[in-house]
Structure 1
């Protein structure tokens, strides 16, 4: 997990995306409606570093072809991650006679949804509240939202036999080294118990039997978390979409017109849509929505080579586990299904939502230090992959959900919880568009809009300062 949006933003007054600039473009065909004055050029196309470990160690698949020429559909979804896959699937089920086009700028599983730590977390976690739960009614709704996302993914994995997801109901450990972290764990335990959620404190002397390391001094274990191979899961979800969904990969949208008809421009043609769903998280700002409310923060992960049998025996512990830090700027770690160790920490503010050259090499050094602190006997085990991945953050933790303008809808700003929350929100958005209502939809529609944030240079200065201070103050938990 890692960074918390409240830890990032409290006291700094920062955060925002950048709206795309308008301009002209050369029209590729002459038989579609033209509205040059309304053309919005997309000024930053998704671009991630080439070394995401989850993607390269997951089952290889043949990506769907890029779109060549023109296409049209009643429904078009932009974004092939958890939110977009969920929205496209549910739209196809709700409207079985309609074609649904799903457009992904890169390959499925290569972008943000395949670059997280693979935690499907059920319980809420609000560090701005003394008990990390806060308002009980809101917390119960968040719990329901997260569990809804878990159930959807669990059911799909079972229904379509997505073995490459490596889904395990193993729970999670929130672990601490510093005394300040102990206070976090004790407060959170009280909050979870007030919600009726099962949890238990595990003392440091017992943790090596769980985690294979003597590094941590205390942990709070919650059993409801599911761990997955995120890129493998997303690939499997993409390959099991309903027959009336057409997926185009490696098809970035370069410009959009909203009036008089929705027209999406790409490298070799255009897509006409009756209704458009944006499920591209922080990149929604480049489509004209969420400007100065959603902003991209990147976090970084490294994955070791597989441990040998002797190395596995030398550390002991359970064969599969996941740890999140008590300090939001600390280190998330995992032991994976193929006996690798994941280390995930360090953050950067990438204003345009794209990777920055040199950053993976920079943060790989931090990962090395964190790894050797936890597993000194494995100091000769090298990292095979290091990568970064973006989070769409908002100042108050809210998301853009619902209607953005006429015939345009969105599920944007997942605040680092895109696995379960993105899945639930994408599904609920498609149900709402089909005229369905339930408590989860009503909750999402009732949430306040994401708060506005100051423009640059104050935004960049504030976020960068907060990130540097947080990483420094994390101490041994980094």
Structure 2
């Protein structure tokens, strides 16, 4: 019996969750349930895996278990960029090996297309638009990143547009950036609304239980998931709970739960919108990975996302959120002086789970236990795709992208604690300081 001592406990101030449509959560699980398939975690991976399992095995009942409420956790807390392009930060041109990059591109597009088809089919109101993304640079080091990435995109044969700083106000309002690289393949979305919609349109043979945190699990001779009000017995278990997979006994000390933080302004008035100018819906990522991400949303708010903190237990705290809010205010004022003083309605944290070697886990974890874990910050597209492909692999399907995922060595081992904690915190602090004007 493995006791699950680390459980999700996100803050209650996520702007995406509160500005998306209110839905009725599914009831928590009680009593005992037996099912051929049980999926733990109703984020992008879990929702995709449960849906695809139900399609692949229409006679089987699939149970999907979520510790919190759908749309409240990590899947509803990101910046809402469904990115198609590979971005290998370990490569000089951010593309690296061309064969690998092409497979990653196929993987990401699999996730994108799957989500778009579902949004269109079910009319999910999540403000998904194929609006592309800007990657903005402020200083020379950032400009060099854009130039390197431009060369990588040329090698990959992917389209882009270089936009000079003098022209950027017509796109994003602000004059803060010296140059941007626009790539058209990204879709922007309201992430909490998306996962809420995906959960409410699951096939009939998927049963979703929310607010059901698993506290113990037994893997032999049968898989038994225990919680405060009952237990679920599974023939086969799929772990889609990212960093919390470590709490279930797998990939111990191989994943790094790093939190990043977002703030969302109140809605801009018509006069403020006129002062801002630019397009009415856009997203920008920084040239420096530790810099500031921005979005103008469908309801005319500005999202500011930056700041990082490391929490091995997968739970952030109020102090880190307060520190991030101050950084967000400074970043906002520098970029949008024409909107000085516009307040934030919400500030929240959300986990991105990384590995030191930037590899993910896909496939069998133990007899009758499978997982797609550690998306390295690309949960919307990569997470969705790996959930779908894991279910397809379990149905006996193969292909070059599935083979690519199966061939991964998985996340590498981390140094022992407390050396790990000291090193990660120092690296995050250095990265944020080095970002300079990009932050």
TM-score range, shorter-chain basis? over 0.9
Give the secondary structure class of the aligned counterpart of 2:168.
Answer: helix
One of 238, 241, 249 as aligned partner of 2:210: 249
One of 69, 81, 98 as aligned partner of 1:119: 81
Which deviates further from its counterpart, 202-211 or 437-446? 437-446
Partner of 2:227: 266
TM superposition outliers: structure 1 runs of 4+ over 4 Å: none
Give the secondary structure class of the aligned counterpart of 1:358.
Answer: helix
Residues 30 and 231 in structure 2, CA contact (< 8 A), matched pair in contact too: no
Give the secondary structure class of the aligned counterpart of 2:112.
Answer: helix
Shift of 1:358: 2.1
Scaled by the length of structure 1, what TM-score is found?
0.91
One of 158, 162, 167 as aligned partner of 1:201: 162
Shift of 1:357: 2.8
**d(CA) in 2 for partners of 1:449 and 1:170?**
33
Residues 67 and 248 in structure 1, CA contact (< 8 A), matched pair in contact too: yes
**d(CA) in 2 for partners of 1:474 and 1:443?**
33
Shift of 1:428: 0.2
Give the aligned CA root-mean-square deviation in angstroms. Answer: 0.6
One of 77, 84, 92 as aligned partner of 2:39: 77
Partner of 2:64: 102
**d(CA) in 2 for partners of 1:127 and 1:460?**
22
One of 101, 104, 108 as aligned partner of 1:146: 108
Partner of 1:380: 341
Residues 189 and 200 in structure 1, CA contact (< 8 A), matched pair in contact too: no
Partner of 1:282: 243
Partner of 2:6: 44
1:453 aligns with 2:405: no
Residues 361 and 408 in structure 2, CA contact (< 8 A), matched pair in contact too: no
**d(CA) in 1 for partners of 2:284 and 2:262?**
14
Residues 101 and 245 in structure 1, CA contact (< 8 A), matched pair in contact too: yes
1:115-194 maps to which residues of 2 (within 5 A)?
115-163=77-125, 165-194=126-155
Shift of 1:136: 0.3
Partner of 1:36: none
Scaled by the length of structure 2, what TM-score is found?
0.99
**d(CA) in 2 for partners of 1:396 and 1:155?**
32
1:391 aligns with 2:352: yes
Q: Residue by residue, what CA displacement relative to the aligned partner does 1:351-374 show, whole Å, maximum 9, x if unpaired?
A: 100122322112100000000000
Partner of 2:55: 93
Give the secondary structure class of the aligned counterpart of 2:312.
Answer: coil
Residues 266 and 342 in structure 2, CA contact (< 8 A), matched pair in contact too: yes
Partner of 1:425: 386
Q: Residue by residue, what CA displacement relative to the aligned partner does 1:291-317 show, whole Å, maximum 9, x if unpaired?
A: 111120000000000000000000100
Q: Residue by residue, what CA displacement relative to the aligned partner does 1:35-66 show, whole Å, maximum 9, x if unpaired?
A: xxxx1100111100110000000010000000
**d(CA) in 1 for partners of 2:91 and 2:312?**
29
Which deviates further from its counterpart, 352-361 or 373-382? 352-361
1:276-315 maps to which residues of 2 (within 5 A)?
276-315=237-276
Give the secondary structure class of the aligned counterpart of 1:429.
Answer: helix
Residues 257 and 310 in structure 2, CA contact (< 8 A), matched pair in contact too: yes
Residues 252 and 266 in structure 1, CA contact (< 8 A), matched pair in contact too: yes
Partner of 2:322: 361
Give the secondary structure class of the aligned counterpart of 2:107.
Answer: helix
